[in-house]
Amino acid sequence: MGLNIDTVPESVAIILDGNGRYAKKNNITRYMGHKAGCDNLETILEETVRLNIKYLTVYAFSTENWKRSEEEINGLFKLFDLYLNRIRKKAIENEVSVKFIGDIEKFKKNIYESCIQLEEETKKFDKCIFSIAFNYGGRDEIVRAINRIIKDGNSTSIDENTFSKMLDTKDIKDPDLLIRTSGELRLSNFLIWQSAYTELYFTDVLWPEFTIDEYHKAIDDYNKRSRRFGGR
């Protein structure tokens, strides 16, 4: 295919979309579609580390996702429980620091505690910072940051840098490249402040079918654009 991965972006964000359509296409349950999506996330995380990409941020559960059926939400949380353990092993093996962005305090105690424990256990690693957006919405994040500023009561005015440090993403470099799978051409409230200058890459490929080759294609496309426009 002549992939040309001479350089890589430092910070990549991905909207993992299309598990449901993958399930339909393959005549399996939505639960199994999400499971295939979780398996693929492990593959792409490993490839991210191999490529020396420093930041990977993924949209796993949005504030909007609570509107899905109770059955689907329960299935998703069963998978999160299972895969957070698997990600823990992968993170330790690969020296990856795992972080959560979003309002995770709203989760059930067991999931919330697994998230905090995973962050604690992996915070010493710095090969790659893997951030999982969980109960995340960009507007919600901005409003929570503003409320924090009001509560502190110390500022009469604020600049962009100081505001960025109040966001959940304070430790994450703004994405250089944002990928959305599955054909939708929108951000759906993901990293709306942070993606002001981000290169966007949309593909029709469904998330569970987004292979390492597809990942390379996205990076190759990003590289061509940064060469053409000389970056920002």
Binding site for ligand FPP (CB under 6 A): 16-21, 34, 37-38, 41, 60, 65, 80, 83-84, 87, 132, 182
Q: Which residue lies nearer to ligand FPP by CB, 164 or 188?
A: 188
Comparing CB distances to ligand FPP, the nearer of 16 and 129 is 16
Q: Please, what is the minimum distance in Å from the beta carbon of residue 20 to ligand FPP? A: 2
Q: Indicate the residue among 14 and 177 with the shorter CB distance to ligand FPP.
A: 14
By beta-carbon proximity to ligand FPP, the closer residue of 21 and 217 is: 21
Instruction: Say whether 17 is catalytic.
Output: yes
Q: How far is the CB of 38 from ligand FPP (least distance, A)?
A: 4
CA–CA dist 61, 98 (Å, integer): 16
Q: Which of 50, 49, 53, 47 is nearest to 7 (CA)?
A: 53
Give least dist CB 47 to ligand FPP, A. Answer: 15
Is residue 61 exposed (0-12), middle (13-18) or buried (19+ Cβ within 10 Å)? Answer: buried
Whichever of 49 and 132 has its CB closer to ligand FPP, that residue is: 132
Is residue 65 annotated as part of the catalytic site, yes or no?
yes
Catalytic residue among 4, 17, 103, 221: 17
Among the listed residues 4, 6, 27, 65, the single catalytic one is: 65
Convert the chain into a string of H (helix), E (strand) and C (coil). Answer: CCCCCCCCCCEEEEECCCHHHHHHHCCCCHHHHHHHHHHHHHHHHHHHHHCCCCEEEEEEEEHHHHHCCHHHHHHHHHHHHHHHHHHHHHHHHHCEEEEEECCHHHCCHHHHHHHHHHHHHHCCCCCEEEEEEEEECHHHHHHHHHHHHHHHCCCCCCCHHHHHCCCCCCCCCCCCEEEECCCCCCCCCCCCCCCCCCEEEECCCCHHHCCHHHHHHHHHHHHHHHHHHCCC
**What is the closest distance, in whole angstroms, from the C-beta atom of residue 40 to ligand FPP in the complex?**
7
Minimum distance of ligand FPP from residue 152's CB (angstroms): 31
Active site positions, annotated:
17, 65
